[in-house]
Amino acid sequence: MAEAVDALVIGAGPAGLMAAETLGRAGRSVLIVEAKPSAGRKFLMAGKSGLNLTKDEPLAACVAAYGAASDWLAPMLADMGPNIVMAWAKALGQPVFTGSSGRVFPVAMKASPLLRAWIRRLGAEIRTGWRWSGWEGGDWAFDTPDGRRAIHPAVVVLALGGASWARLGSDGAWAPKLAEKGVDLAPFRPANMGFCVDWSAHMAPHFGQPVKAVALMAGSGAVVRGEFVVSARGIEGGGIYAVAAALRDGAALAVDLLPDLSEREVAARLAARPAKQTLARHLERALKLDPVKRALVQEFGRPLPEGVALARLIKRLPIRHAGPRPLDEAISTAGGVTRAAVDGGLMLRAMPGVFVAGEMLDWEAPTGGYLITGCLATGQWAGRHAAVWQGVRPFRFIPEAKMRGCQA
């Protein structure tokens, strides 16, 4: 027999936990189920690099960072934007600070203290090792450590993540289940990811080295200042992630190795090369190009031109790549439940009483705190609307045999 519950939240990442907290504050009794052995695994992984919660900037700038989804997410971010996220963390006993780039981190520089305080404040039951497997006899079915279990909820919030970092719980396995019920889905695509490069042997000594103080250009789009890392598999890091969506969609990548010098200044310094000095030494001394930058010029510019042509190459070095790294390696994913598939409260149109939050939704944003902020904002929005949903019951799967009986 199925267990009757009031509000069921499937997924214990930041979106699911925020939905659960919002439901609880509205007076709903909440059960959270999570497929992994513990809550917030991807959240904790983000904490290993300090846990960038948000970006300390005006709300309008924050909203604009979500690109094509900006107008959709704007009202949600208005209720859970940068200032509110910072206040939320402080209320959990985790003071924050703003770094030089505007990124906001807990002073503790890790996620575990915040997550523990948050779960303690929630006070909701969390069952781990519960993997949603579909529907059974009209109820929500789960594979659990104690065998097959069924839940009969009054309302449901789905917060199952995107389709990257499967080992942390975001495996996209939910997509076929929702597609079968008529939910409109956009194909998953990697976001904030590295790109494959088939390096020549001479690049091997530079694997793991950062390429600092450069400007990256994706096609004719905006120029982004930043840095990236040369790895055995290709290129990755903050600068690459900032232009990753454009590169994924077909734009060519070029790098300005000396963004603080004009092409004319670079050409003048190249022209002042002493007669007996090798080009490699001149690039080092006159232009201050470090070994990894000089290696990149050789990798993508050979045979090297001379004079103004070489200056032009250094100012716009084409970086040839073989496409994005695999989907599961991406920091986040685009695709998932489309805007058309949900109503204004993030309820699935095809499944009344079932709400969706977080990376399950088809939006993407750059790194810099926007991913966690977006998950918190959509989680709160879905939880708020789920709390006041007035339907008689949420969507229930009706077995095909029963459907035939109804039609008879």
In contact, 155 and 6? CB cutoff 8 Å: yes
| 376 DSSP 8-state letter | H
pLDDT at residue 361 in the model: 98
Is 17 buried (19+), middle (13-18) or exposed (0-12) by CB count in 10 A?
buried
Count the neighbouring beta carbons within 10 Å of the beta carbon of residue 137. Answer: 14
Tokens encoding 192: 């904030």
Residue 276: which pLDDT band, with cuts at 50, 70 and 90?
confident
Instruction: Give the C-alpha distances (Å, rounded to integers) separating 88 from 14, 91, 97, 161.
Output: 13, 5, 13, 22
Q: Residue 162: is its pLDDT beyond 60?
A: yes
For 111-231, where are the E strands, in sequence order?
125-128, 131-136, 139-144, 147-158, 185-191, 195-196, 209-218, 223-231
Q: Residue 309: is its pLDDT beyond 70?
A: yes
99-115 per-position pLDDT tens digit? 989 999 999 999 999 99
Close Cβ partners of 394 (under 8 Å, ≥ 6 residues apart): 153, 154, 155, 156, 351, 352, 353, 354
pTM above 0.75, yes or no: yes
Count the neighbouring beta carbons within 10 Å of the beta carbon of residue 397. Answer: 18
Close Cβ partners of 170 (under 8 Å, ≥ 6 residues apart): 13, 42, 160, 161, 162, 163, 164, 333, 359
Count the neighbouring beta carbons within 10 Å of the beta carbon of residue 152. Answer: 17
Q: What domains are defined for the chain?
A: 3-190+330-407 (3.50.50.60), 195-319 (no CATH)
Q: Residue 127: is its pLDDT beyond 50?
A: yes
The whole-angstrom separation of Cα 252 and Cα 79 is 37
- Which residues lie across from 148 on neighbouring strands? 143
pLDDT at residue 277 in the model: 86
Backbone dihedral region for residue 4 (phi beyond 0: left; psi -120 to 50: alpha; all else: beta): beta
